[in-house]
Amino acid sequence: MTIETKLNELVARKKKALAMGGEEKIARRRAEGHLNARERIDSLLDKDTYVESGLFATSHLPEAREKTPADGKIAGFGKIGGRQVAVVSNDMTVMGASSSVVNGKKIRHMREVASKSGMPLIFLGESTGARMPDRMGAQGRAILGQDPTEYQRLRQSPWVSALLGSCYGSSTWYACMSDFVVMRKGAQMAVASSRVTSMAIKQPVDAEELGGWKLHSETTGLVDLVVDSDEQAIAAIKRYLSYLPSHHNEAAPVQEVVAGADENSKRIADIVPADGSKVYDVRKVVEAIADPGSVFETKARFGKSLATSLIRLNGRTVGVLANNPMFKGGAIDVDACNKATSFLVFCDSFNIPIVFLVDQPGFLIGIEGERRAAPSKIINWMNALSLVTVPKISVIMRKSYGQAYLNMGGGRNSDEVICWPTADLGFMAPEVSVNVLYGVKKEEDPARYEELLQQVTRDTSAWNLAALYETQDVIDPRDTRSCLISLLDVHRKRLGSEVGRHLLSNWPTSY
């Protein structure tokens, strides 16, 4: 047999593998408006940088080998913006991208290389769950649990998941382990499909209610961003990764600062009313502080009384955690607690300094919060905050009441605490304090009420906090951007390094 014969066989086998599940299935997906698994990779990666791993893999079962090109999960390496990444793209045209013995080995290899080589790992998800012939009987049980690190997350490099269709099994598990999850409208993510779930609970189940984008972006908080198409999801992944280092032992990349970047900060005094009872959208403050066009908000539909965003300040990546009075008056509920904790864990894991923008009346109290274990969520947040090793700066804009003063970086929970002249440091809303402490209501005894109101607000100003050196400065709100840039320059490098200690690297990714 000649080398030409062998090379011809290589060409034929490659052609078959690249054909995936066949033109008919690919055309059907195209007609539905979905990119196929290989098109998604091509759209994601820089041109001519993709190197595939496992092109010739197939099912280990002889009867399935001829119909499982690449075994339903396409994997390899490439570059995004010139930086190396690893990617797994599920191919629904091959046995529904079901999880098997062989393609599980592919995913494991991608995880190991991404970890050892220090590169982000991207999952382009769609899957029907476990491949039943591989899982049935004692032999099927024996293949499970052979990798004790399969569900281990030490955040050595960023993980990103895109939910682009029906996602059950591995697509669900890896999304729940990822740092960032983007979901296309029309996709679903659940433990099992609506059909299987319906059979299990013996009642009809709607796929959208079971695991649609509204559920996961607004109720569970498992999805960070919702988009309308595959193309938008891929664009979001690229943008998200541009804020991050490739791995935990390096600083985030620095971007060029556009001319006139400081102009927006002058609008801050017009955005935030001095009257603490009036609401505003804190995201406008974030935009005014950040480099123009650099705000990337996460979990915008979840825990909305708290806004979390990646931004750039003077070209450098910063995480901003900001109370938003537009929703629930800025009161912090259980969802906002979970959102804050996961954001702190993420920022600390990838060497991103944290800025708190504070304007909160305390935690949202009530029966619902207690039923959802609000005290434990508050203390989870404080526990995570105490373990953060990246720089933290707290800016108290208006209200900062009660225990939440500490959760939002007050006291020694930040490296620097800065106040605006409008800062109010009471333990609770003054009107409530008068009633709680003295049992006096305004409508019943106006004169006494006003006297007591003056008493409970006597020592709650920024000046009193500054006199005790519990705030390091009181600034003009319009100077917030320049102040943050200067202080982050002071604190960013610790003993010559911008890399933190990563004490939160194994904190659960969802809880």
Give per-residue pLDDT as tens, 374-422: 999 999 999 999 999 999 999 999 999 999 999 999 999 999 999 999 9
Q: Which fold has domain 3-142+164-242?
A: 2-enoyl-CoA Hydratase; Chain A, domain 1 (3.90.226)
Residue 256 in tokens: 């060029």
- Which three-class secondary structure state does DSSP give residue 165? strand
What digits encode the pLDDT tens for the residues 333-378? 999 999 999 999 999 999 999 999 999 999 998 999 999 999 999 9
Say which range, 44-48, 133-137, 195-199, 470-474, has the weakest mean pLDDT.
133-137
Does the structure show a pLDDT above 70 at 452? no
Alpha helices in 98-164 (DSSP H): 101-117, 132-135, 137-142
- Report the distance separating Cα 400 and Cα 330, nearest Å: 10
For 79, what's the count of Cα atoms within 13 Å in the CB-facing half-sphere? 7
- Report the distance separating Cα 247 and Cα 436, nearest Å: 51
Does the structure show a pLDDT above 60 at 510? yes
Summarize the confidence of residues 425-435 as an average pLDDT: 63
Say which range, 122-126, 127-131, 282-286, 451-455, has the weakest mean pLDDT.
451-455
Sign of torsion over alpha carbons 58, 64, 67, 71: negative
Does the structure show a pLDDT above 80 at 435? no
- Report the distance separating Cα 477 and Cα 309, nearest Å: 20
Nearest to 295 by CA among 479, 490, 161, 481: 481
- The CATH number that domain 263-425+460-491 falls under is 3.90.226.10
Does the structure show a pLDDT above 80 at 143? no
DSSP string, 355-423: EEEEEE--B--SHHHHHTTHHHHHHHHHHHHHH--S-EEEEEEEEE-TTHHHHTT-GGGSSEEEE-TT-
What digits encode the pLDDT tens for the residues 168-211? 988 999 999 999 999 999 999 998 888 888 888 888 888 888 89
Residue 178 in tokens: 């990822």
Q: Tell me which long-range contacts 197-204 makes (C-beta under 8 A, separation of at least 24).
A: none
Q: Give Cα separations from 81 to 18, 119, 240, 253, 309 (angstroms).
A: 25, 13, 12, 11, 21
Determine what percent of the chain is predicted with pLDDT higher than 90: 76
- Report the distance separating Cα 390 and Cα 316, nearest Å: 14
- Which three-class secondary structure state does DSSP give residue 140? helix
279-316: burial string, b at 16+ Cβ within 10 Å, e else: ebebbbbbbbbbbbebbbbbbbbbbbbbbbbbbbbbeb
449: enclosing H helix or E strand: helix 446-456
What digits encode the pLDDT tens for the residues 200-222? 888 888 888 889 999 999 999 99
pLDDT of residue 439: 61
Nearest to 207 by CA among 220, 196, 219: 196
Does the structure show a pLDDT above 90 at 496? no
Summarize the confidence of residues 430-449 as an average pLDDT: 62
- Report the distance separating Cα 461 and Cα 458, nearest Å: 8
Summarize the confidence of residues 318-345 as an average pLDDT: 97
Confidence tier at 273 by pLDDT (50, 70, 90): very high
Looking at the DSSP bridge assignments, the partners of residue 358 are 396
Residue 339 in tokens: 């959102």
Does the structure show a pLDDT above 60 at 315? yes
pLDDT of residue 140: 64
Looking at per-residue pLDDT, the higher value among 227 and 451 belongs to: 227
Is 93 exposed, middle or buried (CB count within 10 Å of its CB: 0-12, 13-18, 19+)? buried
Does the structure show a pLDDT above 60 at 437? no
pLDDT of residue 131: 81
Summarize the confidence of residues 439-460 as an average pLDDT: 64
Which amino acid does the sequence have at 110? M
The dihedrals phi and psi of 145, each to the nearest 5 degrees, come to 75, 15
DSSP string, 45-83: SPTT--EEE-TT---SSGGGGGG-GGGGEEEEEEEETTE
- Report the distance separating Cα 420 and Cα 136, nearest Å: 64
pLDDT of residue 197: 83
Instruction: Specify whether the CB–CB gap between 40 and 234 falls below 8 A.
Output: yes
pLDDT of residue 457: 60
Q: What is the mean pLDDT of the chain?
A: 92
What digits encode the pLDDT tens for the residues 227-253? 999 999 999 999 999 999 999 999 999
